[in-house]
């Protein structure tokens, strides 16, 4: 197995997608933000309004914005015209905030990085907006849940 972004000379390289067919691509990623009780108590009141604005709603917008700009953040990532991006955040007393980012596009390459970036930035936004209450916030378990399109589909076990 070889790394996709390394060329024959063992140097970084963008994957050449010129010969690939355009197909419908989807991806869904998840991140969990473990929140201390004090933060959960604040957010659990239908999305607390912090000094910076409504926490969960702001995280949703930030995640969508980040997914759209993934190629500017991740070296060698192709720019993709995203056709749909949705972020869902649910609060759970055990896990804290569970963030799911779903992305769709018709393209020659997948949208996994866009979904992962959207979930990650939404999680970072929650951290940023809640750190005034507690710094004991942990972002964990950022992962791809599923993808479709391209050579093979993937679904996490």
Q: Which of 121, 120, 101 is nearest to 111 (CA)?
A: 101
3-class DSSP state of 77? coil
Answer yes or no: 88 catalytic.
Answer: no
The sign one gets for the Cα dihedral 97, 56, 90, 149 is negative
R_g of the chain, CA atoms, integer Å: 17
Q: Which residues are CB-neighbours of 70 under 8 A, at least 6 positions away?
A: 77, 80, 113, 114, 117
Question: Can you tell me the distance from the alpha carbon of 54 to that of 65, in angstroms, rounded to the nearest whole number?
Answer: 16
Candidate list 128, 136, 141, 153, residue with the active-site label? 128
Q: Which of 65, 155, 149 is nearest to 106 (CA)?
A: 149
Catalytic residue numbers read: 128
């Amino acid at each position: 197995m070889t790394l996709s972004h390394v060329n024959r000379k063992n140097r970084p390289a963008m994957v050449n997608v010129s010969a690939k067919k355009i197909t419908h691509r989807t991806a869904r990623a998840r991140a969990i933000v473990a929140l201390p009780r004090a933060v959960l108590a604040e957010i659990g009141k239908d999305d607390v309004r912090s000094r910076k604005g409504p926490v969960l709603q702001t995280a949703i917008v930030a995640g969508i914005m980040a997914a759209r700009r993934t190629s500017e953040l991740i070296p060698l990532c192709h720019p993709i015209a995203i056709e749909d991006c949705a972020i869902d955040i649910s609060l759970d007393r055990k896990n804290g905030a569970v963030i799911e980012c779903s992305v769709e596009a018709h393209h020659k390459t997948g949208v996994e990085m866009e979904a992962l970036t959207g979930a990650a930035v939404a999680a970072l936004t929650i951290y940023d907006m809640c750190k005034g209450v507690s710094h004991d916030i942990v972002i964990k378990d950022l992962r791809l849940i599923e993808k479709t399109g391209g050579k093979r589909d993937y679904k996490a076990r």
